[in-house]
Structure 1
């Protein structure tokens, strides 16, 4: 009898501890925004006309009703926390709202100029800042800040800079003390204003010195599947379908990890957070047909898996220029002459890399299975449906489900290459076999690719 009581008590304690770091938040399609209040150890979840405040120590929830004006919409507004006050900054231009006495009110003296679409919005020195942004066939290359006295946006002048970056939008940033690192953005072609391309330059701006510094170039960080990187210590943590990477620009490190116990189950479209040595992330509740969302917590070891590799994130070949001798210069010119024609051809063609495709100065990343399919198509002749199916199939799924996976993978490949080339037609096509009409063969236009 006593032994049974101990077992019952132990089971109750285990159950309590197991679920202490998980709490139901709401329905997925009703969540407008989430935001972290690190000073008060709280996460806010905003809905249409109320918000939930979640205490990260106890996981207790307070729901607060808010009054929202008819002109305000959570879509197109980013919540920003400054000194425990919530502001909502319009993602296209100058409009700013503030949560005051449980009412969201517009406070700015600006207007929706649509000149800073998809700019970086963040807080520095208790001020709302934004960098870059797109508007009217051009991209911005400067910072603005919201003056809470004038209730208008003012610019920050890089007066001590010898050079400035090209304007970008839809990029990434890392804020480290007085330094803002800007990278992985898109720019507008100077000679064709309707064309955009991946800008691979990495820049650092020091707010104390008002000075830009060019750091180098980097590979493209694909945010297709997980568009919201996590601010992890002084790095940016990016989730992929097959793993995790952290970007540390202060130390120029790009580190890759395997997925941990929980990192592969987060909701891709929501923001997730790291605070006080723990990750806080949103997941769908198990066996939930209504897309009910839970907030969960995990340690670093639970969220991040085994270390894979580490390498520099950016490279700066300009630093080597001063050390080149005349002989090295002549050698370079000789090599340039020998391989000039090949390089010219290369620039006009798609280059097949180990992890993606490059066309001119644009790059699109593919996963391992997609690259295996592409190499078969480009380096071989016609590829049978069964051959492609053998690459993507998962043994635990039915034949019909694996067929859908194959079709989705080919559609993904076509979509990415069409985006890379600005084509409207599919690059990977299919036909029935001349020998057996039951067999479908896939092929690709090899003239589009650079082959050694």
Structure 2
């Protein structure tokens, strides 16, 4: 009985923490979140589906009266205070709702401009920043003038302005607009977009742009901004790289561990992710359906894995680069010094009266020095050649031969002592041309030999 009760409790717990509503993909063309009423508004075709986020159920479906040739796919939602407006993605048109009808609320004639721009609301005004149009990118900050009903460019003060971009990430923070990244088209090559990692901040009161630095977030172009609301935290999401929370003012980022739930989040269709109260709301694709999912924050956000900086200022980056170069040079110099020392340790120094290797020394007799010197200059010596170096006419040939062998044996002992190792440094072998002749050579390939005066 206890086990059965525990299983029921676990199932109930999972149901409470994660909920889903199934839709066809064609049922979703535009989504907006009414935070005041706790409703998710989903538009498709000529209808509106309203979802109550508290109970997470469809509340109502409403037929809408739309302008001729209007389609929701071509618009983005933006809230002006408590009024929902739809802004054209590829132009300047703005629509507002009057009961179940859409009516034009602007007088703009702008077309094919500021596509993929940042769209946001501040105080009682709607703004756009950046975007793409006519084979170029823009860095214009525009607003919908409430009197003229047209889009106008805000003139800025100061000498610094961001590079023109589209598809950048933006955040609002009191009197500031923060811009992260974006794709830039240069005048030299308008067919190749280059991603920018720069971070800029705009002061609405001073009308001044300020460059903060270069973002440290890797593959930032793969992240999307989570809609956390005007008072929410700044969060970025990537199905492969997990969740990042950003504190722009303190230049901090918090990274969180991966979650199996993330792989199901639909990002290819560019659908929104919302953070509402203590839950995350997102879409995931399953076969030909879309599943609207609601997951509690404690289930969606995993353990924090680390903190970092959002950006590094260019001056700091330059200092860092210079420091890195100097550090690299220092490493190379140290490596060369160590290599030189290493080479010195592997060098056998042969003096007239001694041999020296790695602080070990052995004294040489004049005859030993003569034989060793000759072996260094001539890599291979016949037995008779060595014998001629130390030959004493007053002694018999056999006695001279014995002295030669004794000197070579003595040299081998001394060389083995200073160099180390078990083999004989001076080795002999039969001549390949005449087997009766023995050839002597110095066999210490691991050691460099140098004659010293």
CA contact (8 A) 1:23 1:295 kept: yes
Q: Decide whether aligned partners of structure 1 residues 137 and 253 sit closer, same or farther in structure 2, where only a CA change above 3 A counts.
A: same
CA contact (8 A) 2:281 2:292 kept: no
Q: Distance in 2 between matches of 1:12 and 1:310?
A: 39
Q: Decide whether aligned partners of structure 1 residues 167 and 105 sit closer, same or farther in structure 2, where only a CA change above 3 A counts.
A: same
1:314 to 311, 314, 322: 311
SS at match of 1:19: helix
SS at match of 2:315: helix
Which blocks of at least 5 consecutive residues in structure 2 are unaligned?
A: 333-453
1:45 to 35, 42, 45: 42
CA contact (8 A) 1:260 1:306 kept: no
Q: Distance in 1 between matches of 2:296 and 2:163?
A: 40
Is structure 2 residue 283 aligned with structure 1 residue 282?
yes
Q: Distance in 1 between matches of 2:95 and 2:290?
A: 29
CA contact (8 A) 2:256 2:305 kept: yes
Quick check: 251-260 or 42-51, which moved more?
251-260
Over alpha carbons, which structure has the higher Rg? 2
Q: Distance in 2 between matches of 1:240 and 1:295?
A: 15
Is structure 2 residue 32 aligned with structure 1 residue 32?
no
Residue number in structure 2 paired with 1:266: 265
1:95 to 93, 96, 109: 93
Following superposition, the deviation at residue 289 of structure 1 comes to 4.7
Quick check: 52-61 or 123-132, which moved more?
52-61
CA contact (8 A) 2:284 2:291 kept: yes
Is structure 2 residue 195 aligned with structure 1 residue 198?
yes
Residue number in structure 1 paired with 2:409: none
Q: Distance in 2 between matches of 1:41 and 1:138?
A: 39
Q: Distance in 2 between matches of 1:292 and 1:138?
A: 35
Residue number in structure 2 paired with 1:121: 119
CA contact (8 A) 1:130 1:144 kept: yes
CA contact (8 A) 1:258 1:305 kept: yes
2:139 to 134, 141, 147: 141
Q: Distance in 1 between matches of 2:53 and 2:38?
A: 6
Residue number in structure 1 paired with 2:60: 62
Following superposition, the deviation at residue 248 of structure 1 comes to 3.0
Which blocks of at least 5 consecutive residues in structure 1 are unaligned?
A: 339-452
Residue number in structure 2 paired with 1:305: 302
CA contact (8 A) 2:223 2:236 kept: no
For 1:130-173, what per-residue CA distance to the aligned partner results, in whole angstroms no more than 9, with x for missing partners?
001122233221211112332211222223x3411121112111
Q: Decide whether aligned partners of structure 1 residues 186 and 294 sit closer, same or farther in structure 2, where only a CA change above 3 A counts.
A: closer
Q: Distance in 1 between matches of 2:173 and 2:240?
A: 27
Q: Distance in 2 between matches of 1:167 and 1:13?
A: 54
Q: Decide whether aligned partners of structure 1 residues 198 and 11 sit closer, same or farther in structure 2, where only a CA change above 3 A counts.
A: closer
Question: Aligned residues, how many?
Answer: 321
SS at match of 2:299: helix
1:105 to 103, 106, 128: 103
CA contact (8 A) 1:281 1:296 kept: yes
For 1:62-96, what per-residue CA distance to the aligned partner results, in whole angstroms no more than 9, with x for missing partners?
22221122221112211112222221111122111
Q: Decide whether aligned partners of structure 1 residues 18 and 311 sit closer, same or farther in structure 2, where only a CA change above 3 A counts.
A: closer
